[in-house]
Chain A
Amino acid sequence: MGYVAIKGGGQAIRGAEDVLEALRASEGMEGAPLSIDAIENQLRLLTSRIVSEGGLYHPKLAALAIKQSQGDTLEAAFALRAYRSTMPRLMETQAQDTSKMRLIRRISSAFKDIPGGQMLGPTYDYALRLMRLDLTDESPEKFRDIARQFLEQTPEPNLPDTFPKVVEALREEGLLPQAEANEALPFDITREPLIFPVPRSAALATMARAETGSLLALAYSNMRGYGDVHPTIAELRVGYLPVMLPHPITGELTEAGEVLMTECEVVAMYEDDSNHGKPTFTLGYGACFGHNEVKAISMAILDRALQKGMKEGASNPSEDPEFVLLHVDGVDSMGFASHYKMPHYVTFQSDMDRLRTTQQKHEDSKNTKMGDAQ
């Protein structure tokens, strides 16, 4: 009789890798490998999701992660995160001013017209969700013409460098409280564990790289009635934020590059100030790398809900910082769900031992009782 314990693990892993790779190339002779550029551009929203959930702004590596994980968003974000663990930190940015974003889209649902104007930009919001069958056999020539034609037909935009924030107008009127100058360094979730209670900056950082679907589900619970944020979008903006870093020699802030970001500010119903000051609206804030509108909106709603929970105690799951922040990370949750596929022979052996003993005791006591009855 041979030893039947778990043998041949190494061989099995190699086999799994081979078959995965073969499936990726299963188009055979007809196929062409996906280029990283094609993924980054043609699957731009997918790439956006990965830079955001991966917590690393590197669209090229994000595209590569999508390619190697065959489109699994959790796996792709995970690969990017693990890569990030290997990188030393060279510098830290100061707080960046998002009014300086080079915008591609900006809307407010609170006001018809806003200073600087509404800009619909690229959005599926009003698209008819009909199958575009013409894309099934798109010719390369026609495909290449699309961008060229768009640029030719679009007049040179005459956009200002900065767009004022809608919430500023509300602050000036006293409808929103003044932003408190916060000199404290923001909480760094990549270096500090979350020990509750945590500051708001820790919550914002955690949500900024959270898994989109998880954030949406929790925010949706608040929207549906397990909570009472009742948000109005003061402003949602998408664009390229110049990243300013201190010059290594002069110390002067210098533009080091730009990152595509989505930012959302929601205004929620006012509440009674605990200091018996003037009642004002309250603000929820969401921002993340890439073009991820649903994520930014969900985050803004949850930010507002969590602020309430931190102050008054949670009366709904979406207001409980522990509940929200410990359950929205895609890498943590998918890893743990997957780990159940690993062998648990030893613990199950232990479980069976307990159950058998308990069953035996149950049998014994039943027999004793029957004996008593006779």
Chain B
Amino acid sequence: MSVTYNFGFMDEHAKKEVRRSILKAISIPGYQVPYSSREMPMGRGFGTGGLQITLSLIGADETLKVIDQGSDDSVNAVNLRQFVELTCPGVNTTTHLNEATLIQSRHRIPEVPLTPNQTLVLQVPYPDPLVVVEPSEDKRKVMHGEADYARLLVKLYEDIVKFDEITISHRYPTRINGHYVIDPSPIPRWDVPKLHNSPALILFGAGREKKIYAVPPHTKAEPLAFDDVPFRVESFNDAQGNRRPCERCGATDSFLDEYINEDGSKRYQCSDSDYCDTVLAETKEAANA
């Protein structure tokens, strides 16, 4: 027995259905479009929703970048990239953001702003921000339709009462185009402002929960907050209040990963590996010049 696969693994009808759902998602910014998610040969939760979007959109002239936790070389990113290379002969892959036309990512949006020629596909484990206040999907659908997000805001209120601070760390509920509130996938708060008026199309794929949604280019994306308790991104300041630099490239404008040294002390480096490499190369060039 031997098996040959269609370009893009899924059969053409399935890809067409995914594309139709994507069009609908773009037409209604932030609305979770249900679709019949196919089984992919990797686990639900490993990016099957993002992968189906990628495979449905990818053509032979596309250049793909896959990242996980900001890195092109993490196991899952490598796995997904190899799978696309295997099932989409002729497609280029890259680790450089500026070369990519299609970027599939888990948990991060690249530090360098995206361009109108790029599409970002984010992998989503939990598509519905209302699930924390309402377990029934049926009821949540009505709440979304009526833009009824008071119970979500009450959660923020209760947070401030209890902790003097909004404690949502990632998956920060964000209102798109003034109506639907989305779960922007487990990106850190650091990345949420990048959704706002992005020149690039941003697509969200939840394979297990069978939903696709979108933040189209140049669309408003506002994290939920109170007028007097604003949304805040992660702080990378040290005890003296100085911004920590990446210890490798020196950047002070990137999301940092924290590492614990053998002696218990900590060090910090860019989470976006491509960005770190780029800054490092520029610094070396400047030093040589």
Direct A–B touching, Cβ under 8 Å: yes
Q: Which chain A residues have a beta carbon within 8 Å of chain B's beta carbons?
A: 1, 3-10, 12-13, 60-61, 64, 78-79, 81-89, 189-197, 322, 326, 331-340, 342-347, 349-354, 357-358, 361-362, 365
A3 pairs with B13, CB closer than 8 A: no
Chain A interface main SS type: helix
Query: In this complex, what residue of A is CB-closest to B272?
Result: A5
Contact flag A4-B259 (CB < 8 Å), given A13-B79, A85-B40, A350-B234: yes
Contact pattern, B 160-204, Cβ under 8 Å of A = 1, otherwise 0: 000111011111000000000000001111100000000000000
Instruction: Give the A-binding residues of B (Cβ under 8 A).
Output: 1, 3, 5-6, 9-14, 17, 34-46, 48, 68-71, 73-79, 82, 106-108, 125, 136-138, 141, 163-165, 167-171, 186-190, 208, 210-211, 234-235, 247-248, 255-259, 267, 269-271, 273, 276
Q: Does A197 lie within 8 Å of B45, measured CB to CB?
A: no
Contact between chains at A82 and B107 (CB < 8 Å): no
Contact between A13 and B43 (Cβ–Cβ < 8 Å)?
no
Contact A85 B9 (CB under 8 A): yes
A349 to B187: give the CA distance in the assembly, Å: 11
A358 and B167 contact, CB distance less than 8 A: yes
Query: Can you name 24 A-B pairs with beta carbons within 8 Å?
Result: A3-B269, A6-B69, A9-B79, A13-B78, A82-B39, A82-B40, A85-B9, A85-B10, A86-B6, A192-B36, A193-B34, A326-B137, A331-B39, A334-B44, A335-B48, A342-B45, A342-B46, A346-B107, A346-B255, A349-B271, A350-B188, A350-B234, A353-B235, A365-B164
Minimum CB–CB distance for B50 against chain A, Å: 12
| CB contact under 8 A between A8 and B169, given known A82-B39, A336-B45 | no
Q: A85-B40, A322-B136 are in contact. List 7 more A-B contacts (CB 8 A).
A: A3-B248, A3-B269, A193-B37, A195-B34, A334-B44, A353-B235, A361-B164
Q: Which of B36, B73, B125, B247 contacts A193 (CB 8 A)?
A: B36
A81 to B75, CA, bound (A): 23
User: Do B41 and A9 touch across chains, with their CB atoms under 8 A apart?
Assistant: no
Which B residues lie within 8 Å of A61 (CB)?
A: 1
Question: If the complex has contacts A86-B9, A346-B271, A350-B170, are A322 and B43 also in contact, measured as CB distance less than 8 A?
Answer: no
Q: Is the CB of A345 within 8 A of B208?
A: no
B33 to chain A, nearest CB (A): 9
- The reply to whether B269 and A339 contact each other, CB–CB distance below 8 Å, is no
